[in-house]
Structure 1
C-alpha cells in the first residue's frame, strides 16, 4: 500500500544546500518510493538550539515502505552526510524528520507522527503549507509568526533532484 509522507529537511553545518539536495536524491532512490515535490528553501534561526542558521525544506513522497524501514533509511542518509548526535538539538550536517505519515498517528520510542514539535516550528509549517495548504491552518502559522524565517530560494532549487 502506498502512503503519502512529508519529510522535513534541515542542515546548519557544512554545505547545507548540497546536503539537502543529496538527501532528496537519496530519498527518491529508496525502493518503492517516489519524490513528488519539494518546497522552497528557507533560511531559519535555530529553535531551542544554538549554531548557525539552518536551511530547511519539506518534501512530499509516496512510499510503499513500512514506517520503521523508512525511518531507518532516513537515518542512514543522515549518517552518510556526517550527522552526529552529541547532544539534543546539536548543530547538524543533515536532519531528516518524518512529519506526517498519511493520516496515521503513531507514538513509539523511535517514531512519533505527526511529528510532536512540528506545530512549534515555522521552518516546518511554512514549507508544509507551500506543498499542501490544507495541512496547515492560519492559527498554526500565527503561533510561530515571531520566528525568524525567510525564503532563501524558490521551489526550483530542487529541480535537479526531482528531474535529474
Structure 2
C-alpha cells in the first residue's frame, strides 16, 4: 500500500471549492483531511492569502510518480497556470512525503523530489499535517524528525501566520 501526504492550497477564485476538488478527485483513497487554514503567502511574492489543508491518502496502484501525475491532473482540472514561482495559483497540490510498506520513499529526480525539500520550513504544511497525524515524522537532511519538533523550530511569526478557519472539507 502506497500512502501519501499532500499539501493543498489555493488563493485564486473559490479557494475552498478548489481544495474540495482535490478531496473529491481522490475519492475513496482519502484516509484523512485536516481542518482548513488561512495562511499568509510564502516565498516573497505579493498576493492574497491562501487556504491550505493536508490530505492523507492511500492507493496500492500508485507509486511516487503516480501520485505526482495525479496531483498534476488535479491542478490542471483547476486550470493551474505556472507563471511565477511561489506566485498566486488556483490550486497547488504538493507531495510532502510518500511511503510504501511503512517505509518513506525518497527521490532526488529533477521531476520528483521526495520528501518535499521545503516542507520542513513551511508552517502551512506542518500545522495541518499535525492536526491529522500528531505522530507524523519527516526525514530532513537524512534524519527522521517529528513534525511537531520541526514546527516548534520555526519562527513564531510563521506559525502565527497559519490561522484556523471555520471552513471544512468533506
Using structure 2 for the length normalisation, give the TM-score.
0.84
Cα distance change on mapping 1:146 and 1:104 into 2, 3 Å = same
Residues 91-100 or 143-152, more deviating = 143-152
Tell me if 1:150 matches 2:163: yes
1:57 corresponds to: 53
Cα distance change on mapping 1:132 and 1:11 into 2, 3 Å = same
Give the number of the structure whose residues are more often helix, by fraction: 1
Using structure 1 for the length normalisation, give the TM-score.
0.87
| Structure 2: unaligned runs, 5 residues or longer | 137-146
Over 4 Å off, 4+ runs:
none
1:81 corresponds to: 78
Residues 5-14 or 105-114, more deviating = 105-114
Q: CA deviation at 1:73?
A: 1.6
- Between the aligned partners of 2:85 and 2:7, the Cα distance in structure 1 is 17
The count of aligned residue pairs is 152
Q: CA deviation at 1:72?
A: 1.1
| Structure 1: unaligned runs, 5 residues or longer | 160-164
Cα distance change on mapping 1:121 and 1:144 into 2, 3 Å = farther
Cα deviation 1:42-100 (Å, max 9, x = unaligned)? 00000113210000000000112121122112101101101000121120000000001
